[in-house]
Chains A and B, each alone.
Chain A
Amino acid sequence: MSEELLRLENLSIDYKVKGGYLSAVNDVNLSVHRGEILAVVGESGCGKSTIAHAIMNLLPGGNESIEGKIIFKGEDLRTYNRRQMEAIRGKDIGMIFQNPLDSLNPVYKTGKQVEEAILLDGIDRVQAWNKVLELYKDVKMPDAEVRANSFPHELSGGMRQRVMIAMMLSRNPELLIADEPTTALDVTIEAQILEIIKDLKKTYDTAIMLITHNFGLVAEVADKIAVMYAGEVIEYGDVYEIFEKPLHPYTTLLMKALPRRTKHEGRLQTIDGNVPRILDKKPGCRFANRCPYAMEKCQSETPPEIFVSEEHKCRCFLMEEGKEAEA
């Protein structure tokens, strides 16, 4: 296995809201290795983006409390001060945001913005500009030279997301966090962007943390999956293993809910109920109220993370008893 780049240890994040603390992320343990794509999958509001922002130390500040460790290359980022963090951002860890439409500064030409990024590393202007054009070709931007001289509003959403990727790759970060990079784009562009991300992983050996709610996308590009539910990672493992043999009842149900070409069952299956809003932590499984296999102790005890194999873990009591959710 390649070198471990990022490790989250018992990461918990609570937001202070009216009436208590909202547990956005609870006891998350994850790691990302060099040259690996980890997909973090989950419903809206399950804490995916909160984790991403926490790693970059970009949470709004003021009303959240963070516990646990965010270890990047052996050092806890949470002990870093502002200046150290600024040095890490972009250079070691890059981030692509959800909405490419306003992720670029409207008053500068796109190429200029990418160039600015490269100049941060003290490269002279001519070289930097050539690097910009090279990057534009890397992200398969048509007419690189023309686009580099265009303002953001002159580009389409897909092109802007390419610029963003080019920008984030310009400094060759070791870890790239992509927070729903294709949400705002249509399916064909999405496929192209994913191709680019896959290619880049190969060329630059970048580790990528892909945050998404789209299982299809995950199957396409990821090596590892972490499935999140209500702030917790309920299942983690190799992408093939999880798609072949999901263990957690939630994952199992999700897989059933996926539209498949081979199934002709009419209506898609759904999971009854809603994601609970976890105010003030209580013991118990967070999925218990919707789980068809829920037992008595699921209500009163929090299931631990159980390793079913070295690379596959699941947070469910069923594992303890050696049973498996029937798919």
Chain B
Amino acid sequence: MSSKSKETLHACLHNVNFMIGFFMLLSVILVAIFADKLAPFGYTDQLVGPQFEAPSAAHWFGTDELGRDVLSRVIYGTRITLKVAALGASLELIIGVVVGLSCGYFGGAIDHVFTFLTDLTWCIPGTILALAVVTLIGKSLTNSVIAIAMVCWASYARPIRAKTMSLKTMAFVETGKAFGESSAALMFRYILPNVIPSLIVMVSTTLPGTILSTTTLSFLGMGSQAPSPDWGLNLSKGMDYIGSAPWLSIFPGIALVYTVLGFSLLGEGVRDILDPHLKSQ
């Protein structure tokens, strides 16, 4: 291992935020992978116990109106959340990177059009825009992720554009050009690798937002549909019984907070490690 990677590893190990976030996320990922083994019941199994049973030894998180085990549903819910995180992040990244790079690299008309679009998505409240998009393309979890990505790409495009603009004037890009490299090669092989450190920071800081937004759409009934164990959906379903059976919404809520917190702490840690300038500010 080179001294540089050793240094990075050392920085990671000594960053409290990073380590806490890392282990929180690791636990979420493990739960998602081994959901089949960990969950005592299937997430659609009905009447595995009495309806509305409070948390007990048999059902740690209690049961819901159909006698389903809340613990099992929360456990299966992690899979959905992680899927949302992965899908959402990749979509936002792809759109944001392509738009940001081409705006910064080509400038001119392309830049004007997309910068205008970026401004436009930023001046409309995200959730409302996402709601509109979902209504247009139909209610489902995947569609809600797409909708969120359509709203969030701007937060990637803008910084990438700025970074590209400064990088493209660097001598090594001109060297590449003098070498007969095409614009695409210059953008993706010369400029993009130099943006990646900032990109990692951007991903880790926007991911919690993406998860929360998608959960919001599910909560509003525009995302996952029953009988999905989606946390947002269960939170809103549990609202009906909040007085008599609070455990229906409390446990998915805690799981959501735990996951988002994990992502946030990790993101903060990554930012401190990769971007010392930000830290000092």
Q: A-side interface residues toward B, CB under 8 Å?
A: 56, 58, 86-91, 94-95, 97-99, 101-108, 116-117, 120, 164, 167-168
Contacts and interface: CB of A to CB of B under 8 A. Distances in A.
A180 B85 CA distance: 51
A99 B182 CA distance: 22
Please provide the 10 A-B residue pairs with the shortest distance between their CB atoms, ordered closest to farther: A90-B180, A89-B180, A90-B179, A95-B178, A107-B193, A103-B171, A102-B171, A105-B172, A103-B175, A86-B180
A166 to B, nearest CB: 12
A297 B117 CA distance: 60
Given A97-B175, A164-B175, A105 B180 contact: no
A116 B181 CA distance: 10
B179 A102 contact: no
Contacts of A104: 172, 175
A127 B188 CA distance: 25
A105 B180 CA distance: 15
Given A105-B194, A107-B193, A108-B193, A89 B172 contact: no
Contacts of A91: 180
Contact of B176 (A98, A101, A102, A105): A105
A88 B179 CA distance: 9
Interface in B56-81: none
Q: How large is the interface on B (under 10, 10 to 19, 20 to 34, 35 or more residues)?
A: 10 to 19
B174 A97 contact: yes
Contacts of A58: 174, 177-178
Given A90-B181, A102-B171, A105-B193, 12 more contacts: A58-B174, A58-B177, A90-B179, A95-B175, A97-B171, A102-B172, A105-B172, A106-B172, A106-B194, A107-B194, A107-B196, A120-B179
A101 B170 CA distance: 10
Nearest to A99: B171
**Max chain B Cβ within 10 angstroms of own Cβ: one of A87, A90, A98, A120:** A90
A120 B177 CA distance: 13
A88 B171 contact: no
Nearest to B192: A107
B28 to A, nearest CB: 32
A287 to B, nearest CB: 32
A97 B179 CA distance: 12
B41 interface: no
A103 B169 CA distance: 11
Given A103-B172, A104-B172, A105-B190, A97 B178 contact: yes
Contacts of A107: 193-194, 196
Contacts of B170: 102
Contacts of B196: 107
Contacts of B175: 95, 97, 103-104, 164, 167
Nearest to A177: B178
Interface in B226-258: none
A167 B196 CA distance: 25
- For B177, B178, B189, which residue has the most chain A Cβ atoms within 10 angstroms? B178
B178 A56 contact: yes
A182 B170 CA distance: 18
18 contacts: A58-B178, A86-B182, A89-B178, A90-B178, A90-B181, A97-B174, A99-B171, A102-B170, A103-B174, A103-B175, A104-B175, A105-B172, A105-B194, A106-B172, A107-B194, A107-B196, A108-B193, A117-B179
Interface in B149-184: 170-172, 174-182
Nearest to B4: A151
